[in-house]
Amino acid sequence: MTEFGFDIHEDLMVDQDRSSPAYDLLLEKVPSVAVCLSCGSCTGGCISAEMTGFGFRNLLVLLKSNRYQRLANALEYCQFCGKCAMVCPRGINTRKAILEMKKYFKG
Amino acid sequence: MNTLNFDCIIIGAGPAGLKAGSIISSNGHKICLLEKENIPGGKLNTWHELFPHNESARTILGKMLSENSADIHTSVNIQKISRNKNGFSLRDQNNNEYRAPALLVATGFKPFNALRKEEYGYGIYKNVITSVDLEEMFRNKNVTNSQGKVPERVAFIHCVGSRDIKVGNEFCSANCCITGIKQAIELKKMFPRINIFCLYMDLRLGGRFFEDCYKTAQINYKVQFIRGRLSETNENADHTLVLRYEDTLAGKPAKLTVDMVVLLVGMQPDPAIAQLLPEINAHIGSDGFFGNGKIDNSGLVTGNGLFFAGSCTGPKSITQSTDEAADVAFRVNEYLKKKTTNETTSSHDRIRV
């Protein structure tokens, strides 16, 4: 790769015209992620959130908007404690969803 | 032990029951209202001022009672409801029997029991109260926290017991958002220096003038609206409370320290009356409220003399309850008229034979 001496930052615009194959796959495996109402209970209760900014709601945002690299990095912070699943008012199986995302991005 | 005969029995003397009662009796029918509490008025008795125009609940209730000319039997606990070819027969705790061809159920709703959301700290921390408790404080003109001080920072938590699969209530109670905003404004009027935070997911202000209240709260009263659902409440040594949630618009986990938390509890169906109604299963929706919520519900409400009105058919404001009650009262009149016509015809036929 040619070194230009400067970086071009990632595209900051969400392109809703691009599909997200990983999200479509996740929907098949964990259909309950479709009913997220973005309330943030998961992040509020998360034991990793305070130090890392990690949160399940944000994972879904990254996944839907095709920001896979950030998502793969963020997934490392989950400790699988399951508090997010406990507080979710829509009963989303968050642990299963995170596990499936990890499987997908580890290949 | 008495047997009393009426044209229509109304269970519940709240806004819907009183409204329906005044209309049905003004059409010349003999009715009675059965109320389980020792005073009529239902949930209106628990309110101080009503949204969206801050009208006094006591004045409104006084008006409703003055329009009502029917008998109100208070402290009546119905033990049994049975049905025969002449209509319904109800028995109360003193073995009194009430009979009528038509029965109108206006039993209202039950506020959500906040103890069930343990993580919010109701019943554990003294400074966590519900909107019902706050309304009582307003009525007593004494808003203080557990240390007897005027609170300086108050958080209102929206959607407590609503839109929550974990407690089995997946519906929106529709009236808690506006209740919270009304109470926030009321608090701010009492104590102008207080800081108020509303933790919401979606502000559902569908009623007329509700959005005006929201704007007033933002512009004139500087109420701060934070988009995020409360995850857990913890108490500090000085009895202040730390709330943990995500500020979903900032996309960051957040904490907030307050000295009073008000849980805006939702409206729940009251199962007590459903257990007494014979052959009733077909009338209860998946959310536990009566009726099916369809625009065309003629299949449900005509022909069998059993009617439902008010918030027992779904979360409703007072105006919505009384509107529905007026509509149902009209149908009760039609039903009674048809029934009397049928009876006179058949007795007439018998005489002729």
The residues spanned by each domain of chain A are 21-106
Assess whether B282 and B250 both reside in one domain.
no
Final residue in a domain of this structure, among B249, B267, B285: B267
Residue pairs between chains A and B whose CB atoms are closer than 8 Å: 70
> Number of structural domains, chain B?
2
User: CB contact, 8 Å: B228 with chain A?
Assistant: yes
Assess whether B150 and B242 both reside in one domain.
yes
Assess whether B195 and B100 both reside in one domain.
no
User: CB contact, 8 Å: B164 with chain A?
Assistant: yes
**The pTM is what?**
0.91
DSSP conformational letter for A5: S
User: CB contact, 8 Å: B163 with chain A?
Assistant: yes
Half-sphere exposure of A24 (CA within 13 A, CB side): 4
Assess whether B99 and B124 both reside in one domain.
no
Assess whether B55 and B120 both reside in one domain.
no
Assess whether B122 and B198 both reside in one domain.
yes
Assess whether B222 and B130 both reside in one domain.
yes
Question: What average pLDDT does range A19-31 have in this prediction?
Answer: 95
Q: How many CB atoms lie within 10 A of CB A83?
A: 22
Q: Taking CB atoms and an 8 Å limit, are A53 and B253 in contact across chains?
A: yes
Among candidates B159, B166, B246 on the partner chain, residue whose Cβ is nearest the Cβ of A40: B246
The ipTM is 0.88
Final residue in a domain of this structure, among B267, B285, B306: B267
Q: Taking CB atoms and an 8 Å limit, are B231 and A91 in contact across chains?
A: no
Contact list, A88 vs chain B (CB under 8 Å):
165-166
User: CB contact, 8 Å: B230 with chain A?
Assistant: yes
Assess whether B99 and B149 both reside in one domain.
no
pLDDT digits (tens, 9 = 90+) for A32-90: 999 999 999 999 999 999 999 999 999 999 999 999 999 999 999 999 999 999 999 99
Q: A92 CA to chain B: closest CA distance, Å?
A: 10
Least CA distance to A47: which residue of chain B? B253
Question: What average pLDDT does range A14-36 have in this prediction?
Answer: 93
Q: B143 CA to chain A: closest CA distance, Å?
A: 29
Among candidates B164, B244, B252 on the partner chain, residue whose Cβ is nearest the Cβ of A89: B164
Mutate to test the interface with B, among A14, A37, A39, A47 (most CBs of B within 10 A): A39
Range of the domain at B83: 3-108+270-352
Q: Taking CB atoms and an 8 Å limit, are B228 and A45 in contact across chains?
A: no
**Looking at residue B197, what is its pLDDT?**
97
Instruction: Say how far apart CA B129 and CA B145 lie, in whole Å.
Output: 9
Final residue in a domain of this structure, among B221, B239, B267: B267
At residue A54, the 3 state secondary structure works out as coil
**Looking at residue B352, what is its pLDDT?**
45
Assess whether B132 and B152 both reside in one domain.
yes
Contact list, A57 vs chain B (CB under 8 Å):
246, 248
Q: Taking CB atoms and an 8 Å limit, are B229 and A39 in contact across chains?
A: yes
Q: Taking CB atoms and an 8 Å limit, are B229 and A45 in contact across chains?
A: no
**Looking at residue B353, what is its pLDDT?**
41
Assess whether B16 and B81 both reside in one domain.
yes
Q: How many CB atoms lie within 10 A of CB B94?
A: 11
Mutate to test the interface with A, among B246, B247, B256 (most CBs of A within 10 A): B246
Amino acid found at A10: E
CATH number for the domain harbouring residue B307: 3.50.50.60
Per-residue pLDDT of chain B (353 residues; tens, 9 = 90+): 789 999 999 999 999 999 999 999 999 999 999 999 999 999 999 999 999 999 999 999 999 999 988 889 999 999 999 888 888 999 999 999 999 999 999 999 999 999 999 999 999 999 999 999 999 999 999 999 999 999 999 999 999 999 999 999 999 999 999 999 999 999 999 999 999 999 999 999 999 999 999 999 999 999 999 999 999 999 999 999 999 999 999 999 999 999 999 999 999 998 888 888 866 555 788 899 988 888 876 666 556 888 999 999 999 999 999 999 999 999 999 999 988 777 666 555 544 44
**Looking at residue B271, what is its pLDDT?**
85
Assess whether B263 and B274 both reside in one domain.
no
Mutate to test the interface with A, among B248, B249, B255 (most CBs of A within 10 A): B248
